[in-house]
Every structure is written in structure tokens, then in C-alpha cells.
A and B are shown apart, each in its own frame.
Chain A
Amino acid sequence: QKEVEQNSGPLSVPEGAIASLNCTYSDRGSQSFFWYRQYSGKSPELIMFIYSNGDKEDGRFTAQLNKASQYVSLLIRDSQPSDSATYLCAVNIAPSSNTGNQFYFGTGTSLTVIP
């Protein structure tokens, strides 16, 4: 199992605040990075992905990637109670046409947004 690490939390933020979620990975062959949200009892759903160094914004979400530091983060601005969920970081390692995409997940961070 490739190592992908996240703070398990729980992380609590007040409504309207910025939530910051962090992820580190060990395999330098990792090509792309995904953030999934998982509500209790449901399956993971994609929030966004990033594969170039720097920031990528999508609505209230910003993903940040630093390949030199092997670090990827997710910022959630104006946090809402509906954002309360577990956030999973996933890395795609050395994809090829022969092997397809190989994803490894972190342990997830539980986020609670307090009204």
C-alpha cells in the first residue's frame, strides 16, 4: 500500500470560516491528486483534482499542490454545515495504458462545520 497520510481529525470550524485539509504522499511517481468527499453511509464523490503545481480553484474549493514537498491541500472557503463529511485524499500513481489508473487513498479527515 502506497503511503498517503492525512490528519484524521476531527476538524471543527465555525460556519463561514475556512477549513484547511492536508495530505502528504510518499511516492514521487504520483501523477495526479484527487479530493473526495464522503458523507456517512454514502460512497465517495469527487470534489476536484489537481496535477500541476500551484493552486486550482473551483467555487468555494481550492486545491493546492507542491510536488517538491509531496504535499497537497484542500481549502474550503465560507464553510457550510453541509460540508460536514469525511474528506479523502487520493493519489494516482504512474498511470499507463497497460495498467490504467492506480489510486491510493489517505485515511481521511473528518470535518464538522458548526452552525
Chain B
Amino acid sequence: DTAVSQTPKYLVTQMGNDKSIKCEQNLGHDTMYWYKQDSKKFLKIMFSYNNKELIINETVPNRFSPKSPDKAHLNLHINSLELGDSAVYFCASSQGQGAIYNEQFFGPGTRLTVL
């Protein structure tokens, strides 16, 4: 069974379009995250949700809007796509309760290419 899954795996679209990436985890975790990884491999946190509540929103443009319908899902909607949005987007999850030894489990990534 896949622990953290993302769809789609690849997304190619034109500038100005709106697109969504879906993430689901079946680990029973309370915290979910979205990361953006650029071509230099820097993994930058965008959002984190704990028990469906937004915790981190790291200077991300308003064009990015996360939505967590329940603890197992955290979707990312992007409006008016720009060339600079091209990257690999990773979803991750972690057990809650804030234990310091909790690791993150990552999805396979979604490679977004904006033309």
C-alpha cells in the first residue's frame, strides 16, 4: 500500500492556467505538508497543516491555496500559473503530537512544467 500518494505525477500546462495537485496519506498522520523543490534541489516548505488547521504559510504567493478536506488529504490549487512555478512539488506527512522523533514520509512528487 502506498503511504503518501500524489496525483498527477507529471503536469505540463500553459502560463495563466489554473491547476490542482492532490495528496493523500493512509498512515493516520495528523500533519501534512507541501514542499517545492527547485532545480537546485532546495526543498522549501510552503504549507503545513495540523489536524486540518493551517500552521505554516511561508511567504507563498496568494495564487497558491491549500485545502485540507480531512486529515488524510491536503490538496494544492495554483491559480494563474507562471514560469517560475515550474518545479517538483512534494507532499509529506508526519505523526502529530509534536514528538521530536517523528519523521516525515514523502509522496513521489509532482513535476510541474509551465510553458
Q: Which residues of A contact B (CB under 8 A)?
A: 1, 8, 31-32, 34, 38, 42-46, 49, 51, 86, 88, 90, 92, 95-105, 107-108, 110
Contact = CB atoms under 8 A, between A and B. Distances in A.
A1 to B, nearest CB: 6
B45 A104 contact: yes
Contact of B50 (A38, A46, A100): A100
Contacts of B51: 100
A1 B59 contact: yes
B40 A107 contact: yes
B23 to A, nearest CB: 12
Contact of A103 (B99, B104, B109): B104
A101 B55 CA distance: 10
Contacts of B94: 100-101, 103
Contacts of B86: none
A51 B103 CA distance: 12
Nearest to A40: B41
Contacts, number: 87
Interface of B: 30-31, 33, 35, 40-45, 48, 50-51, 55-56, 58-59, 90, 94-104, 106-109
Given A44-B104, A100-B98, 13 more contacts: A8-B40, A34-B103, A86-B41, A90-B104, A92-B100, A97-B98, A98-B50, A99-B98, A101-B99, A102-B56, A103-B33, A107-B42, A108-B42
B31 A100 contact: yes
A95 B48 contact: no
Contacts of B98: 95-101
Contacts of A107: 40-42
Given A51-B101, A101-B102, A43 B41 contact: no
